[in-house]
Amino acid sequence: MSKILDVRDLHVSFHTYSGEVKAVRGVSFDVEKGQTLAIVGESGCGKSVTSQAIMKLILTPPGEYKHGEVLYNGKDLVKMSEKEMEQIRGKEIAMIFQDPMTSLNPTMTVGKQIVEGIIKHQKLSKAEAKEKAIEMLKLVGIPSPESRFTQYPHQFSGGMRQRAMIAIALSCNPNVLIADEPTTALDVTIQAQIMDLMKDLQARLGTSIILITHDLGVVAETADRVVVMYAGKVVESGTINEIFAEPRHPYTWGLMNSMPKLNQDRSEELSPIPGAPPDLLAPPKGCAFAARCKYAMKICQEVDPELTEHSKDHRVACWLEHPMAEAYRKEVVEGR
Ligand code: SF4
Ligand code: MG
């Protein structure tokens, strides 16, 4: 396996009236060719900002890349000019968003939007591009693609719009597809269809996928590897088996407990993690999860645990992993 994307120690901030919001605070992970990496965490954990940062969509100001690299096939995207990025965005790395209306142009037919992307990035004639666009609409499961081609986004249902956006994103055969909550707004059946579709395309085209979601059910079904983010940092990462069969971070345990079981009514019996993430205007000194963690020890309040290797592919940032954890735990017990 070889790495197509390698994010190294990425820091992104937003400057607001109240001060600097440190949205991403030293995130590292890599994506293998043809694999799916899921980034999970509650809203506000920095997963969307991370994905926008990869596409170099963090606008300055108020956004700022503070530090780090985003290596795509070994080249740092952070250092690229906007002109260079235009060659990468859409063609090499494409993105689909939660709300298709934000990325579809309401005044242009769906067909034309797909054709534009194809013409921009591939040397095809208009007629060839149209043919390819119709083929893409067919591929994403849009019925009667020829007549849909001339329709506007508002004439599509929510699920169809999502498919159209995927068609646009995939029409240039990107090497990397970033999907930010791609199915959250859709009903469960269509969600499943869209996820199947993405897997199918991946198998056929060898696309690498970064799937950003808070839905662990979707992750379990689609991802090869998982990155768990909390308060702008990676707290755990590993293969799908490691994260689901042997999660090691208390925050991941919390996420697992708030995951609906198969056949369980999604509105019932979930136990979300009590409390709220810290304010990233002033992140806490120690572990950012300490205020919500049942296992917090004295050291957790004082020193932020580093991401350390539990096994070859499995990394965890928690003091419970420390060989001295027993002693730390004692400290808590004796202090009481
Ligand atoms: Fe809980 Fe401490 Fe681990 Fe943070 S470092 S998750 S507070 S045990
Ligand atoms: Mg988000």
Q: Which of 5-9, 188-192, 234-238, 261-265 shows the lowest mean pLDDT across its residues?
A: 261-265
- Closest Cα to atom 3, ligand 1: which residue? 318
H-state helical runs in the chain: 47-54, 82-88, 100-103, 110-121, 126-139, 145-148, 158-170, 188-205, 216-222, 240-245, 250-257, 298-302, 325-335
Give every CB contact of residue 242 below 8 A, 6+ residues apart in sequence: 311, 313, 314
Position 231 pLDDT exceeds 90:
yes
pTM of the model: 0.89
- Closest Cα to atom 5, ligand 1: which residue? 318
How far apart CA 220 and CA 228 sit, in angstroms, is: 13
- Ligand 1: residue of 298, 310, 319 to mutate (most ligand atoms within 8 A of CB) is 319
The rounded percent of the chain whose pLDDT value lies above 90 is 59
Taking only the tens place, the pLDDT of each residue in 93-110 is 999 877 767 778 899 999
Any ligand 1 atom below 6 A from CB of 295: yes
pLDDT given for residue 124 in this prediction? 87
pLDDT given for residue 334 in this prediction? 54
Give the Å distance between the CA of 220 and the centre of ligand 1: 24
Give the Å distance between the CA of 305 and the centre of ligand 1: 8
CA distances (Å), 287 to each of 12, 102, 304, 328, in order? 19, 35, 4, 14
Taking only the tens place, the pLDDT of each residue in 32-85 is 999 999 999 988 899 999 999 999 888 777 899 999 999 999 999 999 999 999
Position 313 pLDDT exceeds 80:
yes
Q: Please give the number of the atom of ligand 1 that sits closest to the Cα of 301.
A: 7
Any ligand 1 atom below 6 A from CB of 328: no
Any ligand 1 atom below 6 A from CB of 190: no
* 8 Å CB contact between 114 and 171: yes
Any ligand 1 atom below 6 A from CB of 318: yes
Q: Please give the number of the atom of ligand 1 that sits closest to the Cα of 294.
A: 1
Q: In the predicted model, what is the mean pLDDT of the chain?
A: 88
Structural domains in the chain plus CATH codes: 3-92+174-284 (3.40.50.300), 105-173 (no CATH)
Any ligand 1 atom below 6 A from CB of 250: yes
pLDDT band at 336 (very low <50, low <70, confident <90, very high): very low
Which tokens sit at 149?
A: 């081609």
Give the Å distance between the CA of 326 and the centre of ligand 1: 13
- Tell me the average pLDDT across 18-25: 95
Taking only the tens place, the pLDDT of each residue in 163-201 is 888 888 888 888 999 998 877 766 777 777 778 878 887
pLDDT given for residue 264 in this prediction? 55
Of residues 266 and 205, more confidently modeled: 205
Of residues 13 and 140, more confidently modeled: 13
Any ligand 1 atom below 6 A from CB of 296: yes
Give the Å distance between the CA of 11 and the centre of ligand 2: 17
Position 275 pLDDT exceeds 60:
yes
ipTM above 0.85, yes or no: yes
pLDDT given for residue 265 in this prediction? 56
Any ligand 1 atom below 6 A from CB of 305: yes
